[in-house]
Structure 1
Amino acid sequence: MSQWLALVIAMIAVCAVVLSVVVLRTRRITEDDDPSETPDVIEYMVMMIGVVYAIVLGLAIAGVWEGRSGAQADVLAEAQALHEVSARVQVYPADVRDRIRADVTAYAEFVSDKEWPYMKKHGELSPKGTALLDTIRKDVAQYDPKSDLGAQAYQPLVDEVAAVDQARASRGQSAGATMPGMVWFGLITGALVTVGLIFTLQIRRSPKELLLAGLFSALIAFLLFLIWDMDAPFGGGLSVSADAIKDLVLRR
């Protein structure tokens, strides 16, 4: 059984139980019952639905913001590791040092100029970027240091390349949308229900009421747009940039 089918069955079952209880209870009401003595539950239900939906919206915004912050941290870690690779090869011979630094520059230029648009379009890392990183790893790992200073720098260099690979893998996991479709279904359905409940309060055409209703609806739409925009850390208007890689690798 799929999750969507289970969700539909659960929602129908809950609604059926609640409606059945209400109908059965209504049939048991006696003629001397006075509805005026019972508090009106409409406003209470509207308030509670609004509170619950506000909590759901807050959790969704916190989730996508945390995902964006994690993606930014991964980019910074990748840039820092690339910078360390370029700096630590200083003790290597000139030909080896220049080759590794050229590999790092080629990788950083491709990632910042080509792979960022690729991630936005396809939601994943590009094969060419992976190949360029493999070139860096190959040149670093296959060199056999002849001096003691070079031997001491070898293992830290290998570790930094591994850190680049790890940060790149984490960046790839954040390249696409992170919000599941079922969550979006709940957010949109909740928005429709919350805005629709405005009409249960017998809203009239006074300027104040119309203004408040319009502002409330616009706020819900803005929050949903904010969640959608930050859902893909590398694809929206508030997307993570490649400035860290440019600043730490290409501009030094």
Structure 2
Amino acid sequence: MSEWLALAIAMAASVLVVVAVVVLRQRRVGEDDDPSETPDVIEYITMMIGVVYAIVLGLAIAGVWEARSAAQDEVLNEAQALHEVSARAEVYPADFRARVRGDVDAYVTFVVNTEWDHMRENGEISPRGTELLAKLRQDVASRAPQSDLEAQVYQPVMDRIAAADESRNTRGQSTGPTMPGVVWFGLIVGAVVTVGMVFALQIRRSPRELILAGTFSALIAFLLFLIWDFDDPFGRGVSVSTQPFLDLFPSLL
């Protein structure tokens, strides 16, 4: 089942639950019930619960979006660092230049074609990718500079490899859900309480009130889905992509 289909089902289910509760509740209400008699304190409490929960939802969305953006930036930094290594290898002799660029291409190809799926399935980066990057580092580090130009390029190339390694490790730490379970507990309980407080206002089953209640519950379901989708930067629908690698290494497509 696709995530968007799951979202549609969750939103529809939330609307149906609210509408069903309102209809069943109204059938049990006596003829002398007067909705205008809702105490003012209930309206005040309902408003405050909605405001507090809106703040919590906003902070949660901002947090997962920031984590996703940071993960995307690290992917761009990793790809840019490897692109610099490949470009700076121009100063080396043809055989060693081909070796370095071959190491870079092998690593990028593995990351794009294999490791991304491995991260989604296992929640961690692949040991094979670590080996390929270590091979690139070893090949560059084991060759002594043969000229002044190579000596000037040696340290910048090593720095770029170190930067790629750092971004890779950060990518590994960002793999998997980032939202603590206790936060999810608060979000779900808060959603139940917030939607439940609608019934404290003695909502009736008029079309206007049912539409408003259903829309409100569907909005809550959508926002919770949005947080859940952003919570795993590499594993869900709106996930971090490999586009920076594809843009900087178009020959590997």
Q: Distance in 2 between matches of 1:249 and 1:162?
A: 19
1:127 maps to 2:132 = no
Separation of aligned partners in 1, 2:124 and 2:64: 18
Aligned to 2:65: 65
What TM-score comes out, normalization by structure 2 length? Answer: 0.83
The aligned residue for residue 137 of structure 2 is 137
What is the rounded CA distance, in whole Å, between the counterparts of 2:96 and 2:249 in structure 1? 18
Aligned pairs (5 A) from 1:1-252: 40-251=40-251
**What TM-score comes out, normalization by structure 1 length?**
0.83
Contact kept in structure 2, 1:85 and 1:160, CA below 8 Å? yes
CA–CA distance in structure 1, aligned partners of residues 50 and 120 of structure 2:
34
- Quote how far apart the aligned CAs of 1:40 are: 2.3
Q: Quick check: 1:83–1:248 contact (8 Å CA) kept in 2?
A: yes
Structure 1 regions of 5+ residues with no counterpart? 1-38
The C-alpha deviation readout for 1:27-75, integer Å capped at 9, x for no partner, is xxxxxxxxxxxx7210000000000000000000000000000000000
- RMSD of Structure 2 on Structure 1 (CA): 1.0
Q: CA deviation at 1:123?
A: 1.0
**1:158 shift after superposition:** 0.4
- The list of structure 1 runs, each at least 4 consecutive aligned residues, that deviate by more than 3 angstroms after superposition, is none
SS, match of residue 251 in structure 1: helix
- Tell me how far 1:249 sits from its aligned partner: 2.5
Query: 2:235 aligns to what SS in structure 1?
Result: coil
Give the letter for the 1:209 counterpart: E
Give the superposition deviation at 1:115: 0.6
Q: Is the 8 A contact 1:140 1:158 kept in 2?
A: yes
Q: In structure 2, what is the Cα distance between the partners aligned to 1:220 and 1:74?
A: 31
1:20 matched to which residue of 2?
Answer: none
Deviation at 1:144, TM superposition (A): 0.8
Cα separation, 2, equivalents of 1:160 and 1:241: 22
Matched-pair contact (CA < 8 Å) for 1:75–1:244: yes
Counterpart residue type for residue 223 of structure 2? L
Instruction: Give the Å deviation of 1:251.
Output: 3.3
Matched residues, number: 214
Task: Check conservation: 1:103, 1:132, Cα contact below 8 A.
Answer: yes
Which residue is equivalent to 1:32?
none
Contact 1:109–1:250 under 8 Å retained in 2: no
Give the deviation of 1:250 after TM superposition: 4.1
Amino acid across the alignment from 2:247: D
Deviations 1:90-131 (A, max 9, x none): 000111110110000000000011111111111111100001
Asked if structure 2 preserves the Cα contact closer than 8 Å seen for 1:108 and 1:250, the reply is: no
